[in-house]
Structure 1
Amino acid sequence: MRTTPDRIRHAISFEVIGLLLVIPLGTIGFGIAAQHVGVIALVASLIATLWNYLYNLLFDRALKRWTGTVHKTVVMRIIHAVIFELGLLVVTLPLIAIYLGIGLWQALVMDIAFVVFYLIYAFAFNWAYDRIFPLPDTA
């Protein structure tokens, strides 16, 4: 399993790179001022960073118990990313609606766009992260 410093490096690098990508894409895609996309993305990022650490720790422990290893197959990476994003959606949806003063339906559409982006990004980032910082064979 990964160490606490490695998990912290993972979570912070994931969120920083994600913000650098999502703010300009959100501004272009939604036609909303960058500062509004930035506030939404930053608050969601802070929530996601905490959720990321806790979720990955719990997921790895469960995976190790069920399969005997924390190495993830492609299918397991997809499941991992989908469950993570669904958990985050539950928290961020009302925050987006309140902050932008929009209805839940509009916030859901916006949140789904963020989820789709982050699903693809999470899959690619985690795959790359495991290649750059591989798990020990004993994991």
Structure 2
Amino acid sequence: MRTTLDRIRHTLMFEIVGLLIVIPLGHLLFSLDTTHMGMVGIISAVVATIWNYVYNLGVDHALKRLRGHVHKTVIMRMVHAICFELGLICVLLPLIALYLGQTLVQAAPLVTSLALFYVVYAFVFNWIYDVVFPIPDSAGRAETPTTPT
């Protein structure tokens, strides 16, 4: 399993790279002032950072208990990313609507677009992260990430 320091590094890298992509892209696609898009991005990042730690810790514990290891297949990574985003949408939609002074329906396209972006981004980022920073097994050796099947 990953250490707390590794989880912190993962989370910070994930959120910083995500913000560097989302803020200018959201500004272009939704014609939101960069300041507003930045706040949406930061609100999303703070909420997602907390959710990311809790969600991934829970998934890793569940996988370790059920399967004896935390390796994920491609399908598992896809389900993992989608479930993460669905939970996050439940929290972010009302927060972003409130911040922008919009109804839930008005804020839904922005939140949905963010979620779709982050599903793909989470899948790619986490796969690359696992390759660059392999998970150490209980004997202290690095586990090789699961190859796509």
Instruction: State whether TM-score is above 0.5.
Output: yes
Structure 2 unaligned blocks of 5 or more: 144-149
Q: How far did 1:137 drift?
A: 4.4
- Structure 2 partner of 1:19: 19
CA deviations on 1:58-77 (whole Å, 9 max, x unpaired) are 01001111222101100110
Secondary structure in 2 matching 1:32: coil
CA deviations on 1:10-55 (whole Å, 9 max, x unpaired) are 0010000000000000000101111101001101101111111111
- Structure 2 partner of 1:2: 2
Aligned: 1:111 with 2:108: no
What one-letter code is carried by the residue in structure 2 that aligns with 1:76? Answer: M
Q: How far did 1:136 drift?
A: 2.3
- Structure 2 partner of 1:120: 120
- Written as runs of structure 1 = structure 2, the 5 A alignment for 1:1-139 is 1-138=1-138
For normalisation by structure 2, the TM-score amounts to: 0.90
Q: How many residues align?
A: 139
Give the Cα–Cα distance (whole angstroms) in 2 for the partners of residues 42 and 136 of structure 1.
32
Give the Cα–Cα distance (whole angstroms) in 2 for the partners of residues 60 and 10 of structure 1.
14
Give the Cα–Cα distance (whole angstroms) in 2 for the partners of residues 99 and 4 of structure 1.
32
Task: Kindly indicate which of the two structures has a greater share of residues assigned to helix.
Answer: 1
Q: How far did 1:106 drift?
A: 1.6
Once structures 1 and 2 are overlaid, which stretch shifts more, 103-112 or 24-33?
103-112
Give the Cα–Cα distance (whole angstroms) in 2 for the partners of residues 43 and 100 of structure 1.
12
* Percentage of identical aligned residues: 55
What one-letter code is carried by the residue in structure 2 that aligns with 1:54? Answer: V
* Segments of 4+ moved more than 4 angstroms: none
CA deviations on 1:80-137 (whole Å, 9 max, x unpaired) are 1011111110111001111111111121111000000000100000000001001124
Give the Cα–Cα distance (whole angstroms) in 2 for the partners of residues 113 and 106 of structure 1.
13
What one-letter code is carried by the residue in structure 2 that aligns with 1:53? Answer: Y
